[in-house]
Structure 1
Amino acid sequence: MNWMEKELERLSGQSLERFVHASEPARGFPGYLIRGDRRLLNLSSNDYLGLSGNREVVEAMRLALEREEAGSGASRLVTGSRQANERLEQALAAWQQSEAALVFANGYMANVGVISALAGRGDVIFSDRLNHASIVDGIRLSRAEHVRYRHNDPEHLNDLLQKHRHARRKWMITDSVFSMDGDKALLHELVELKKEHGALLMVDEAHSGGIYGHRGEGLANQLGLHKEVDVHMGTFSKAFGVYGAYVSGSSTLIRWLINKTRSLIYSTALPPAVIAGVEKALTIVQEEKWRRDKLAASIQVFRSALAEAGFTVGRSDSPIIPVIVGDNESALRFSSILEDFGILAAAIRPPTVPEGTARLRFSLSVAHAESELLHAADRIRQAGMYAGVLKE
């Protein structure tokens, strides 16, 4: 095992070693968590709509746990699919205005399984350079040729599509909201390129589902482009506050995935309590528009406060707000000082982000009050100066 020790020493020396820290929800204080003996304002969670602790969601899960068994027992293809699964997938298809939907254990397994089930040798997959790791890994498993285009650069993508015009099938895959930068994919341009080059389009709405669209359907729906997306993927672990993922599209697509997706075929189905929680969260996401409105207002307040403090925060209106520091050690120092100030904001370092772009990634929730965000922005300004990443 010496090779492990040497590699870990290298990571530590470059401020790249990761650690798992014990923490618990701060009961009675939404938007906070407990780490050690401190209560921290949680600005690192993806619980955008504040549903992870929602009483209706928790109660739905509790009732399902009492009514049914703790686990599902096997793959759905072995012991069958419970009524709750069928009901949820029908509701998801109606929500996304698609013919069918399919639930997965989580977003990583959905992307890895779906991409490797749809593409293969002789195909070319065009992927945004900043796509999520699960997309990258799915492409690798597919054995298709992996062609990465410069981030949000339609002209570069067009050149690459032209270069590979004789491919058996051409797939374009993108996040709709990029998880580390918080900016949006140029979906209008991607749809035009899809039509021009006869390609297929897959969109990962993990960080936009629940947030964009009149009923939280996602960015593609808000832009009126959902009918142009061949494979629509989303998760239940972020705005839904629970766990799991789904894919929606044509009935032919879903039939294919049931027969070809290894991460579905060889995985135990989600527990009934999780399905019940997701089902309740889906109802809340669609009906309680005030959550999206409040989140949008909080995003504007927090972004403006950080910009006034001297940070560069970009122009996106997503709840993901990166403050790029540059080197790994400075990012860790910045994060540590903020924790001393009572704020949790994790330092994000390579390989999650490109070399030289280590950052603090702030993500907002409906659980945060405006006064908390304004106070946090002031503390972030002070921490930035102490860490040497912000000048007076």
Structure 2
Amino acid sequence: MKMKGFEYLEEELQEMKEYGLFRTLVPIESDQGAKVVINGQEVLQLSSNNYLGLTNHPRMKEAALKSVEKYGAGTGSVRTIAGTFSMHEEFEKKLANFKHTEATLVLQSGFTANQAILSSILTKDDVVISDELNHASIIDGIRLTKAARKIYKHVDMDSLEAALKESGDYRKRLVVTDGVFSMDGNIAPLPAIVELCEKYDALIMVDDAHASGVLGRNGRGTVDHFDLNGRVHIQVGTLSKAIGVLGGYIASTQAVRDYIIHKGRPFLFSTSHPPAVTAACSEAIDILIDEPELIERLWDNAKFLKDGLRALGFETGISETPITPVIVGDGAKAHELSDKLLSHGVFAQGIAFPTVAKGAARVRTIVTATHTKEQLQEALHAFEKCGKELGII
């Protein structure tokens, strides 16, 4: 029997289908490697955030398995009641040392990390100043605070300075930026942002989701990449992308850690990470230190694909990182390119409004350290064939 009441949702979904924007989830039937199995067919994976291939690293899998045998499948509680295992605090100390900060706190995801920090440390007496292309988790975190908010034009330092000048009467000014912008692959001009924040006595927060494990020495992120250690008040990152597992973290001072433990609702009301997750994340930090060649291979592969796509005539925007968008413009055409690529053995997802602006739809590619040059050349051949068939190049 069909339940009544959701006709308005069905109408909107039907409209999405008519415009070619409705998408279904794509189940992967294998591990997350350079190649994956979809609908029984092996295809090249160019949509994963598994930058360094750590999801399948033997040391990661061994650490996860050993921890399950010793500590079980779950923790059974939130951190503040009975869900803090010694391994949680040991990992956070290791992570703080890696990030060159006084302390860290691990949460369930990068999304909840942004919500926890933004919703808790700001009041109606404060103002948050955010880049207009910041991640959705930052936007939603800002929505949860009573602080005033200002938006500055994307990576525009004149616009940022104007916002800082206009907000001198607030108790605290917090400037928030992505370190690497997830849709365009460009890097925030962090040195200039830090200088402005120091000039106007503002706090600065960097979301390093796509920089953790990718930029900086041994993957320490954009702060380390620009030699700004000790000058950025809050760093947020994920353990779900280059680190290869699950989670988010806040790297800052001991005072910030203690405050979030007491006031951060996503931390207070979510069960702690299971032992396998924590053990594998901890092992990942050791691998970043022991195997820096993974990051070197990632960047070499990124340059190969980026150069190849540009040589074919594709528009790749302002990307400076392993995130390389193939910008098509029309949302339906971006999805059509994605579907056609899959039929030619390449899994590269189309992304359209509202994830990106209308008229800026693209197929977003991300290479990994585990791709071979032969595989990437295969991908370029597929892009060339499909791009010409659709009149994109």
Residue 186 of structure 1 corresponds to which residue in structure 2?
189
Letter in 2 for 1:156: S
Q: Which letter maps to 1:10?
A: E
- State the TM-score, normalized to the length of structure 2: 0.96
1:86 aligns with 2:89: yes
Correspondence 1:311-350 to 2 at 5 A: 311-314=314-317, 316-350=319-353
Question: Given the alignment of the two structures, is residue 352 of structure 1 paired with residue 327 of structure 2, yes or no?
Answer: no
Query: 1:92-130: per-residue Cα shift (whole Å, max 9, x none)?
Result: 111111111111111111111111011121321111111
Q: Aligned equivalents of 2:300 and 2:16: distance in 1? A: 40
2:38 corresponds to which residue?
35
Q: Which residue of 2 aligns with 1:146?
A: 149
Indicate conservation of the 8 Å contact 1:52/1:241, yes or no.
yes
Partner Cα separation in structure 1 for residue 336 and residue 276 of structure 2? 40
**What are the residue-to-residue correspondences of 1:274-293 with 2, within 5 Å?**
274-293=277-296
Residue type matched to 1:25 in 2? S
Matched, 1:130 2:133: yes
Judged with a 3 Å threshold, the aligned counterparts in structure 2 of structure 1 residues 305 and 120 are, in CA distance, closer, same or farther, namely same
Counterpart-to-counterpart distance in 2, 1:119 and 1:188: 24
SS of corresponding position for 1:215:
helix
Can you list the C-alpha shifts for 1:307-353, whole angstroms capped at 9, x where unaligned? Answer: 11111224543110001101111101100110000000000011110
Residue deviations 1:182-219 (CA, integer Å, cap 9, x gap): 00001011001101111100001110111112221111
Conservation of the 8 A alpha-carbon contact between 2:315 and 2:328:
no
Match of 1:264 in 2: 267
* Matched residue, 1:54: 57
Aligned length: 388
- 2:234 pairs with one of 227, 231, 235: 231
C-alpha contact 1:299 1:317 (8 A) present in aligned 2? no
1:8-42 residue CA offsets vs partner (Å, 9 max, x unmatched): 11222233323112212258xx3111111211100
Q: How much has 1:289 moved relative to structure 2?
A: 0.6
Counterpart code for 1:124: V
In the alignment, what sits opposite 1:5?
10
CA distance in 1, matches of 2:183, 2:83: 38
Q: Which residue among 273, 276, 287 is the counterpart of 2:276?
A: 273
Q: State whether structure 2 residue 20 is matched by structure 1 residue 15.
A: yes
Mapped partners of 1:24, 1:67: distance in 2: 29
Q: Does the CA-based 8 Å contact 1:211-1:292 persist in structure 2?
A: yes
Identity of aligned residues (%): 35
- What TM-score, normalized by structure 1, do the two folds share? 0.97
The 1:13/1:186 distance shift into structure 2, 3 A limit, reads: same
Residues of 2 paired with 1:357 and 1:110: CA distance?
A: 28
8 Å CA contact retained: 1:320, 1:361: yes
Compute the displacement of 1:80 (Å): 4.8
Contact 2:185 2:318 in 1 (8 A): no
Distance in 1 between residues matched to 2:390 and 2:149, nearest whole Å:
39
2:78 aligns with 75
Q: State the partner residue of 1:300.
A: 303
1:244 alignment partner, one of 234, 242, 247: 247
Structure 2 vs 1, CA of residues 316 and 358 (structure 1 numbering), >3 Å: closer, same or farther? closer
Over the aligned positions, Cα root-mean-square deviation in angstroms equals 1.2
Query: Within 1, Cα distance between the matches of 2:191 and 2:210?
Result: 18
Q: Is the 1:296–1:317 Cα contact (8 Å) retained in structure 2?
A: no
In the superposition, relative to structure 1, how do residues 145 and 12 fare at CA in structure 2: closer, same or farther (>3 Å)?
Answer: farther
CA distance in 1, matches of 2:303, 2:39: 32
The 1-side partners of 2:83 and 2:56 are apart by 31
Q: 1:148, CA displacement in angstroms? A: 1.3
Q: Distance in 2 between matches of 1:157 and 1:317?
A: 22
Which whole-Å CA distance do the structure 2 matches of 1:80 and 1:376 have between them? 45
Give, in whole Å, the separation in 1 of the partners of 2:377 and 2:149: 43
Segments of 5+ residues of structure 1 without an aligned counterpart are: none
- Following TM superposition, by how much is the alpha carbon of 1:304 offset from its aligned partner in structure 2, in angstroms? 0.8
CA distance in 1 between partners of 2:298 and 2:146 (Å): 40
